[in-house]
Every structure is written in structure tokens, then in C-alpha cells.
Structure 1
Amino acid sequence: MCRTVADAVYVLDAIVGFDGRDADATRKASKFIPHGGYRQFFKPDGLKGKRLGIMRDPFFNSVIGTVITQAFKHHFNTLRKGGAVLVDDVKLSNMDIISNVSYGEQVAMLLEFKSSIDAYLKELVASPVRSLADLITFNNKFSKLEMINEYGQDYFLAAQMINGTVNVEKQLRKIFEKFSREGLEE
């Protein structure tokens, strides 16, 4: 999204705030936006003394020894040079449940994505694309323009295949909020 942290701060200041399409969430969240925006908190030495956890399992299991591992090593060194204290190989409770491909966090995200993108596309006034299924069809029809060979649309396809309801999504969200409190936040 951005080349630098400074750029990200400017983007955040531009996009943060109330959104009528997501009124409940953004109304609640907008009260936490600092007067004067986020730029005032940006400091070039902002990493100095900050503790950052590196959770290797399950995220690094499939990429050990690859170019991805090398890229992360480089970024970890950059963080250290910036003054961050890296806590390596952090373990979270319930990670096996959270990362389970059949009922884990990924399923919850796919359910939420599908229902949200369908609701958004349905509201569009002048668009032939009115659902996730339409979006997938459009991308396939214009695959060169949409660069399907380069980027694919695996996430779209996975979300389209998900069968669930708003109730299932809400149940999963509650479970993962609990796990977050008992794991990541702890």
C-alpha cells in the first residue's frame, strides 16, 4: 500500500473517520482518532525500545529456506537496527484452532469477505458486477486486463465456495475474539 511508514501515516490520516456504509463500526472507532491526526505521533526513532514478537509457527513452517525467509531476515535486521527488541518464536495458545483450514480464522475471513463484497457490489448503481460470482466471471472474461495469470483470484474463489451464514460468521468471530484476548493480547 505504501513505500514507507511515513507514507502509511499520511494515508491513514486521509482514510480514517466516519463512513456511512459502515456507520456502527466507524462511529465507535472515530472517537479514538486523535485531534490533529496521526502524523503528530510519527517519529523516525519510534522503534527504539519497542518489543515486537515473531511468531514462526505456523507462518514460517512452509517457507523455511526460501527467498521469503531471506526477506523476513532482512526486515527483522532492519527493525533491530531501528532499535526494536525482537522476541523470537512467540507461541500463542489456541493457534492450532485459529489456523485450522476447516473452521479457523481463514474461514471466518472468507465468510465475512463474501457477505461484505456481495453487499457492497449490490449497492453499486452502474456496474454489471453485482456479486462475488459476477466479479469472478468478469475477471475470467478479462483475464489479461485483470492480470489473472500474475495475481490469480484464489481468495475470491475460496470465498465463493464457502457455505455459511451470518450466524456462523458471528459465532466464529466471538471464538476468535476470545482467542485473541487469551493469546495475542495476553
Structure 2
Amino acid sequence: MKRILIADDHEVVRSGLRAVVETRSDWIVNGEATNGEQAVTLALETRPDILIVDYSMPLMTGLEVSRRLKALHSRTGVLLLTMYEHEELFIEAILAGVRGFLFKSDAREHLISAIDALLDGRPYFTGVLLEKLVHDYRVNKQNTSAMLLTAREQNVVQLIAEGHTNKSISAMLKLSVKTVETHRASAMRKLGMSSTAELVRYAVRKKLVSL
């Protein structure tokens, strides 16, 4: 039985999400939170498989909730719900450790698919913003900058975009932290980038990160 924790400050939204989740006999809602701090506490206490959290939560936003759980090495997959269609928010969500990004207007149609993806270890992003990012990728497909990166540099960029730290990347790739930093700096220099957010945006558009 897969456990789902729902965090939203509106009871009608929580009830709607619960109704969708409970259409699956192998899923159970094991708790509800009405603010960000409560969401973190319940996630750590009950260890749900998935946390569905609204971006605009009292006391602590959905992004802050995800950052806190990531810092505490929680294995709960975070699915962020939002009404805002901003590319910057999408990038911040990935960096905060969010594994799924779903517009509230898409929730009824895509919630089951999103949860299934996260339970399977895959990220899930949908909505107008994703369509825009894919469109931008196609428009700029002639850009051959990816060919400038070595296979190892692309691996490092991909893991950075997935929210991993230099230390965790070094463990995953069996490289020293200094070597990871070197690959990261080299990739940023070749691509003419100066921030992690730019690397994440690049990885999304070049499909180094699965969508």
C-alpha cells in the first residue's frame, strides 16, 4: 500500500485531492497538513511515499518544504501544485528537490499519472510551462553546444539539474568532489553560464533531464 500525504491550506482542495487519490485501491492518504511546517513534521513522522504540497502554503511555502525534506535526506517524493506559470519557479522547484510539478488546473486530469511516475522513480512535469520549454528546445535545436561537453561533463550537469550536490555526485560517479567541481566549472565555462539555474534550464532544454 502506497502512502500519500496531502498538504494544502484549503479543505475543499484537500478533499478533492483525497477523492482522486482514493480511486486507487493500492493507495492510501495517510495524513493531511494545513501549513508548511505541519507538512514537514508529518512527512518526517509518517514517511509517506509521496507528498502532494501546494506552493502557496502558510508558514512555509511548498518549495521551502521540499528544501527542508531534501536537507534532512527524506526519501518522500514531492509533487508541487501551483497556479503560477513562471519558468523561474519551475527551475527553483527542481533545485529544491521537487520531483513533480503540476498546475492546479491540470490536477484532476494528471494527478494519477504524476503520482505513478514519482512512485516509479521518474519525474513528472506538465502544463503550459513545460510546453513552452519543449518548444524553446525545438526552436533552438540547431544549437550544438551539447557537443562541446564531454560525456562526463554531461553526466555531472544532468545530476546537478536533478538536484544533487557536488558531494552526492562524487559518490554516485565515484569521483572526488574536486573532480566533480572541475567538470562542473568546465561545463559552465564551455556553455558560457554562471549559475546553477542556467545549467538546470540548459539540461531541461537539451533533455538531459527526463520530463
Larger Rg: 1
TM-score by length of 2: 0.27
For CA contacts below 8 A with separation 6 or more, give which structure has more relative contact order: 1
Task: Please state which structure has a larger fraction of its residues in strand.
Answer: 2
